[in-house]
Structure formats: C-alpha cells, structure tokens
Amino acid sequence: MTLSDERIIEFLSKSPVKSFRAMLDVLRYLDGNWIWEDLEYELFDNALDDNSNGGKIRVPAIRGIAANALLDFAWRALDFHMIRRRPRKVTYESLPEIIVFYELMPAGKHMIKILEAFTAIESSEARAA
C-alpha cells in the first residue's frame, strides 16, 4: 500500500508522538522486535497506573515518550499499514504465551525516509541558528 500525501499529513499531524525524531526512533525500534503480547497490555496499564499486581516491566526509553503514547503510535502505524504485527504462540516454563514480531512494511520504510529528511532539515536549521 502506498501512502498518498494526504495520508502522510494525516499520520504526522494526528500522531500521539509529536517530534519527527521521536517518530523515527519509534519506527526504527518497532522494526524487527519481538514483544511479549501480555507485556504490551501491561505496558498500557502501567502507563495509566492501573497495574494492580505490582509487577514491574521494562518500558523502552525512546526520547521520553510516555508508554501510552508509544502504544498508541504503534497501533496507529498498524492502522496506516506502516508496520506488520505477526503473533506466534510459544511455550514458556510450560505455559503457553504469545509473542509478537513487528516489522516495517513498504509504507513504513517510506515514512522512515520522509522522517529522516525532516530530521536532517531540523538539524541543519539548528546548526544555522
């Protein structure tokens, strides 16, 4: 699926992550990562301070992005066909669990090129100032 100019503008303007550099970091982070399915939801619960079991999980530190914004951005990238999510059932300590593999689709690779150009422009403007 190719991205039209309108879809690119919609994705960028309504993104829960507001920095171009942070969006680029998140897309790069999601590409090629396996994530435990249950941790994905615990991540969201922890961000809302609704994690009643008291367990601690590691939240990826991507330029200060809140956990719920990171999760919202991932779901938004899925909706725009920028990333693909492939679940796989595995057995861990005799209990079945699901892990999910995220990878960039062609639209996601295109968005990375756009975001790289934007961050290069921001960097050159910062140096000029």
**pLDDT tens string 63-97:** 567 777 887 888 899 999 999 988 777 776 766 67
Residue 51 binned pLDDT confidence (cut-offs 50, 70, 90): very low
Query: Please, which pLDDT band fits residue 55 given cuts at 50, 70 and 90?
Result: very low
CATH code: domain 5-128 is: 1.10.10
Rg (CA), the chain: 16
Judge contact between 27 and 77, C-beta under 8 A.
Answer: yes
CA atoms of 72 and 87, how far apart (whole Å): 18
How far apart CA 82 and CA 119 sit, in angstroms, is 19
Encode burial over 82-99: b for 16+ CB neighbours within 10 A, e otherwise: bbebeeeeeeeeeeeeeb
Task: Answer yes or no: is pLDDT of 46 > 50.
Answer: no
Q: How far apart are the first and last CA of the chain?
A: 39
Region of residue 38 (phi > 0: left; psi between -120 and 50: alpha; otherwise: beta): alpha
